[in-house]
Every structure is written in C-alpha cells, then in structure tokens.
Amino acid sequence: MGILTVLWEKWVEFRHNFFKITSAAMIAPILYILVFGFGVQTVSHGQPYLNFLIPGVVALTTMNGSFNAIAQTLNVQRLYEKAFDQVMISPTPLWQFIAGQIIGGSLRGLYAGSVIILLVLPLRTGLYFNGWSFLFMFLNGAVFSTIGVVVSFYAKNHADVPRFSNYVIMPMAYLCNTFFSTQDMPGGIRQLVGYLPLSQTSAALRQIANHEAFSWSGIGILVLYLLCFSAAASWFLYKKKNL
C-alpha cells in the first residue's frame, strides 16, 4: 500500500501538471534533433546522423525526466515542507516509500522517452523500438530516479540539486554515447564513460533500433547501479529514523 500511495501522489502531480510536464519533455529533445540532426548533415556508422542521434536523445530524455521528477520535488519536500518527518513516524515501511519514488520517477522518464519516439515517427527513419527498448528506458529511468532520491537526501540546500545536475547529469547527457560515439574517446576515458548507465542505455537503444543484437551485460550494469543507489537511499532513511 505504501508504494501505491507514493505512486498515487506522482499520478496526481502528473495529471495536474500534464501540459507543463509534456512540453518540458518535448522542447529540449526536439531542439537537439533539429540542431544536430538536420543542421549537421553527416553520416555516422554508414547511416544518416539523425538515425544515430534519435536513440541517444531518447535515452537522455528518460534520464532527465526521471532525475528531475524526483530530485527537485523530494528535495523541496525534505528541506521546506518537512514531509520526511511524517514519513518517519508513519506505519508505512521505508523501503516502500523509496520503491514508490523510484517507480514513479522511472515511469515519468519512460513517458518522456515515449513522447520523443512518437514525435520522430513521421520522419520515417526506419528505426525500430520494441519491448526491450522500453525495458532499457524503464531501467535507465529507475537508475536516475534512485540517484535523484540519493541527491535529494544528501542536499544541504535547494541549490545543491541544480549544482549536481550541472556537474554530473549534464556532462553525461553530452558524453555518454548520445551525440557522438564514445569509440573516438581516448583509452581509459572511453572505458569509464562506456560503463556509465546512460552510455549503456544509449548503446542498447541504438542497437535495437537498427535491428542488431544488444548486449545483455547492459541490463546487468543498470540493475547493479539500481541496487547500489537503492542501498544508499535506504541507508540514509533508516539511519535518520534510528537517530
């Protein structure tokens, strides 16, 4: 019931701000596709650059949608509304509160990515998205929702969340196999960036979109990230409750 309560809260927020959320999910990705896809007329991996770009934009859209849906809201609730105090004394298990936040954020990211897929359908690029694509989008959203939970817990003020986004989320959006291939990066940096969750998602979505076999290790890496950040979020909440 605790998970359903959190998801209901997310649904009410989504329904109330539907047009704001949808427009916010569309504007930046559309600009990326217009500027890079049509402005930069190049060929990548033997195909139009637009075909390389779209799966990367879908991946980073799920990242941004999930992270922003959780980090900002949860940070405000913790620092200003003191909502965590009510969570601590409520009979709802803390793991259900965390799980609800993660699922709610990942669904928001999945929605944002799906909007982009629908928008690019008229372009007839020949790209293909199936159930595996949406699984990777959901897992990617879950990872960054969990990161959003952790960041909102450890933020000491409201400015810490945008600062983390500038230092971590934004660089990943540009470097993690989204706008250009990581294969051209120097050794060492290439391997480091390649193991980041957004790189794994971008690569898998691109492989699926081009009717290629994706690497199963990508799912394992995303699940590992999800477990690690979930453990960090749980540790914070249970430690705070036992103070």
Instruction: Give the span between the Cα atoms of 146 and 183, in whole angstroms.
Output: 28
Quick check: 51 and 125 in contact, CB under 8 A? yes
pLDDT of residue 72: 81
Span 164-209, pLDDT tens digits: 888 888 888 888 888 878 887 788 888 898 899 999 999 999 999 9
Q: What integer pLDDT is reported at residue 242 of this predicted model?
A: 47
Q: What is the pLDDT of residue 28?
A: 65
Contact present, 195 and 175 (Cβ < 8 Å)? no
Query: What value does the mean pLDDT take over residues 102-114?
Result: 93
Whole-number percent of the chain with pLDDT over 70: 85
Q: What is the pLDDT of residue 60?
A: 93
Strand ranges (E), the chain: 43-44, 47-48
Q: Is 132 exposed, middle or buried (0-12, 13-18, 19+ CB in 10 A)?
A: middle
Instruction: Enter the tokens of residue 30.
Output: 């559309």
What whole-number percentage of the chain has pLDDT above 90? Answer: 33
- What is the pTM assigned to this prediction? 0.82
pLDDT at residue 36, rounded to an integer: 62
pLDDT of residue 39: 46
122: which 2 tokens?
A: 């008229």
Check residue 75 and give left, alpha or beta (phi > 0: left; psi -120 to 50: alpha): alpha
> Is the CB of residue 101 less than 8 Å from the CB of residue 6?
yes
Least confident of 54-63, 71-80, 81-90, 108-117: 81-90
